[in-house]
């Protein structure tokens, strides 16, 4: 459609869409994992303990013990194309490339590790992007994930004399496109089983409980996602929080404790889904699909299914396209 004569078309300008996820080690060995954990766990948005108190614990204890354990866990799920998180995030960017024509470049970055956010923002600027949509792929907003990803991009922009214009993707925990895609995938995965689960657990990554009292909306966003998904599926979901870290009290109930308790309550067949992860990663493939299964079976469970994340599946990519497109309105010729 031609624009009205008194309202000329905006000249086409190059746009960058930067998908951002958490990050992952470059290799599944202790050295690479140590480098990654050092960067990750030194982020004051992640560990909110004063630097002078935290750094000696991190350097003196955690970085001398955890890398070996975590490297073993990464080794169990590593692929020919690197860690599952890196492989899937790359595939998501590839699947979206060209979705809005040649003027919109789609790429990805990691908050910790590679490819670094600063490098990718610079690459988009060098490629002629005058506008960038930063898209942290966390459905539920959390200062330790969404905010720190945006902070890192803004820190890069702060060094530029001529900045591109920037928008950020808001949380999408209650977006009908997201809930609809989860419903479609969960139903397809359940239909592929030759048994019916007695219960479905929705496991979200945990957070220290104090972040809730400090006003982080993460816990509420997780609960809302679970309620909407439960309504869409027409069945109950048990909400749990995984991946406890450190000594502070974390959000509960803990996924491992829920799984260990279910068989004793007569729930012998369980399916578990992780709606807060936009891509499968060590936390889902090792912690849930391997260790979660062991926990459940050792407690007397008989059937266990881990249902994969949206990843680069057709419903997952259609969902990303829809939520990104809304943020691109006015920047590119989307209807
Ligand atoms: C999806 C949201 C996530 C939140 C919220 C989150 C908070 C959070 N995480 C840690 C500590 C660790 N997380 C680790 C891995 C990891 N975490 C997320 C996502 C969230 N984290 C993802 C996607 C991954 C996977 C990375 C991968 O390479 O596959 C790890 C590393 C693995 C391990 O050693 O267990 C740690 C450590 C804290 C402390 C925290 C909140 C304050
Ligand atoms: Fe984490
Ligand atoms: Fe974990």
Say if residue 173 carries a ligand binding annotation: no
Task: Yes or no: say if 135 and 167 are a contact pair by the CB < 8 Å rule.
Answer: no
> Based on the domain organization, do 62 and 122 belong to the same domain?
yes
Pocket test for ligand 1, best of 241, 243, 309 (most atoms within 8 A of CB): 243
Complete DSSP assignment for 243-267: ---SSS-BSSSBHHHHHHHTGGGT-
> Based on the domain organization, do 286 and 157 belong to the same domain?
no
0.90 exceeded by pTM: yes
Q: For residue 239, tell me if it sits in a domain.
A: yes
Whether 83 is in the pocket of ligand 1, judged by its Cβ within 6 Å, is: yes
Per-residue pLDDT of 168-215, as tens digits, reads 999 999 999 999 999 999 999 999 999 999 999 999 999 999 999 999
Say if residue 205 carries a ligand binding annotation: yes
> Based on the domain organization, do 125 and 187 belong to the same domain?
no
- Tokens for 194, please give them: 């030759």
Stretch (H or E) spanning 85:
helix 84-96
Q: Which atom of ligand 1 is nearest to the CA of 138?
A: 1
Residue spans of the chain under pLDDT 50: 1, 335
Q: Which atom of ligand 1 is nearest to the CA of 47?
A: 42
Task: Yes or no: say if 306 and 292 are a contact pair by the CB < 8 Å rule.
Answer: yes
User: CA 259 to CA 256: how far, in whole Å?
Assistant: 5
Q: For residue 249, tell me if it sits in a domain.
A: yes
Pocket test for ligand 1, best of 282, 285, 286, 292 (most atoms within 8 A of CB): 282
- Dihedral sign for Cα 141, 147, 148, 152, please: positive
User: CA 306 to CA 84: how far, in whole Å?
Assistant: 15
Q: Which residues contact 222 (CB under 8 A, 6 or more apart)?
A: 140, 173, 204, 239, 241, 276
Protein residues within 5 Å, CB atom, of ion ligand 3 = 243, 283, 287
- Tokens for 129, please give them: 């992007």
- Number of structural domains (the chain) is 2
Q: Which atom of ligand 1 is nearest to the CA of 246?
A: 39
**C-alpha 169 to ligand 2 mean position (Å):** 20
End-to-end CA distance of the chain: 10
ipTM of this predicted structure: 0.98
SS3 of residue 90 by DSSP: helix
Whether 88 is in the pocket of ligand 1, judged by its Cβ within 6 Å, is: no
User: CA 335 to CA 331: how far, in whole Å?
Assistant: 11
* Closest listed residue to residue 204, CA positions, set 176, 226, 172, 177: 226
Closest C-alpha residue for ligand 1 atom 23 = 22
Q: Which atom of ligand 1 is nearest to the CA of 204?
A: 1
Closest C-alpha residue for ligand 1 atom 18 = 22
Q: For residue 8, tell me if it sits in a domain.
A: no
Q: For residue 1, tell me if it sits in a domain.
A: no
Sequence-ordered strand ranges (E) for the chain: 15-23, 104-112, 131-136, 165-168, 199-205, 238-242, 269-273, 303-307
Question: Average per-residue pLDDT in the chain?
Answer: 96
**C-alpha 141 to ligand 1 mean position (Å):** 14
**C-alpha 23 to ligand 2 mean position (Å):** 10
> Based on the domain organization, do 152 and 211 belong to the same domain?
no
> Based on the domain organization, do 27 and 160 belong to the same domain?
yes
* Enclosing domain of residue 57: 15-172+315-328
> Based on the domain organization, do 193 and 154 belong to the same domain?
no
> Based on the domain organization, do 215 and 154 belong to the same domain?
no
Q: For residue 160, tell me if it sits in a domain.
A: yes
SS3 of residue 270 by DSSP: strand
User: CA 173 to CA 177: how far, in whole Å?
Assistant: 10
Task: Yes or no: say if 154 and 40 are a contact pair by the CB < 8 Å rule.
Answer: no
> Based on the domain organization, do 183 and 105 belong to the same domain?
no
User: CA 183 to CA 233: how far, in whole Å?
Assistant: 6
Predicted local confidence at residue 17, as pLDDT: 98
**C-alpha 286 to ligand 3 mean position (Å):** 8
Q: For residue 287, tell me if it sits in a domain.
A: yes
> Based on the domain organization, do 182 and 153 belong to the same domain?
no
> Based on the domain organization, do 189 and 164 belong to the same domain?
no
Q: For residue 334, tell me if it sits in a domain.
A: no
**C-alpha 206 to ligand 3 mean position (Å):** 10
User: CA 169 to CA 138: how far, in whole Å?
Assistant: 9
> Based on the domain organization, do 113 and 201 belong to the same domain?
no
Burial class (CB in 10 A: 0-12, 13-18, 19+), 126: exposed
Q: For residue 197, tell me if it sits in a domain.
A: yes
Whether 285 is in the pocket of ligand 1, judged by its Cβ within 6 Å, is: no
> Based on the domain organization, do 155 and 182 belong to the same domain?
no
User: CA 172 to CA 335: how far, in whole Å?
Assistant: 21
CATH of the domain at 55: 3.40.50.1400
Q: Which residues contact 145 (CB under 8 A, 6 or more apart)?
A: 22, 111, 136, 138
**C-alpha 41 to ligand 2 mean position (Å):** 10
Task: Yes or no: say if 158 and 125 are a contact pair by the CB < 8 Å rule.
Answer: no
């Amino acid at each position: 459609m031609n624009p009205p004569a008194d309202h000329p078309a905006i000249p086409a300008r190059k746009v960058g869409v930067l998908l951002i996820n958490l990050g992952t080690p470059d290799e599944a060995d202790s050295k690479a994992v140590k480098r990654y954990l050092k960067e990750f766990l030194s982020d004051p948005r992640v560990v909110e303990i004063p630097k002078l108190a935290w750094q000696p614990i991190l350097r003196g204890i955690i970085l001398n013990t955890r890398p070996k354990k975590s490297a073993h866990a990464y080794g169990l799920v590593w692929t020919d194309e690197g860690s599952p998180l890196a492989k899937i995030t790359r595939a998501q960017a590839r699947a979206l490339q060209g979705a809005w024509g040649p003027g919109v470049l789609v790429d990805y970055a990691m908050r910790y590790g590679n490819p670094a956010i600063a490098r990718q923002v610079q690459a988009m600027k060098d490629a002629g992007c005058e506008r960038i949509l930063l898209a942290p792929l966390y459905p539920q907003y959390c200062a330790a994930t969404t905010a720190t990803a945006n902070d890192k991009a803004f820190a890069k922009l702060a060094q530029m004399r001529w900045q591109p214009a920037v928008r950020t993707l808001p949380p999408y925990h209650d977006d009908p496109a997201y809930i609809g895609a989860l419903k479609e995938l969960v139903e397809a995965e359940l239909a592929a089983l030759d048994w019916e689960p007695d219960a479905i657990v929705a496991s979200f990554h945990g957070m220290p409980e104090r972040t809730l009292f400090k006003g982080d909306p993460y816990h509420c966003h997780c609960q809302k996602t679970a309620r909407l998904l439960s309504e869409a599926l027409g069945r109950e979901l048990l909400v749990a929080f995984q991946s406890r870290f450190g000594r502070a009290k974390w959000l509960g109930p803990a996924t491992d404790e829920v799984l260990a308790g279910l068989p004793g309550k007569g729930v012998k067949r369980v399916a578990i889904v992780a709606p807060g992860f936009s891509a499968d990663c060590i936390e889902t493939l090792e912690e849930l699909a391997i260790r979660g299964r062991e926990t459940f079976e050792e407690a007397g469970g008989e059937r266990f299914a881990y249902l994969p994340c949206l990843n680069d599946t057709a419903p997952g990519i259609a969902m990303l396209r829809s939520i990104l497109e809304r943020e691109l309105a006015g920047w590119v010729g989307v209807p």
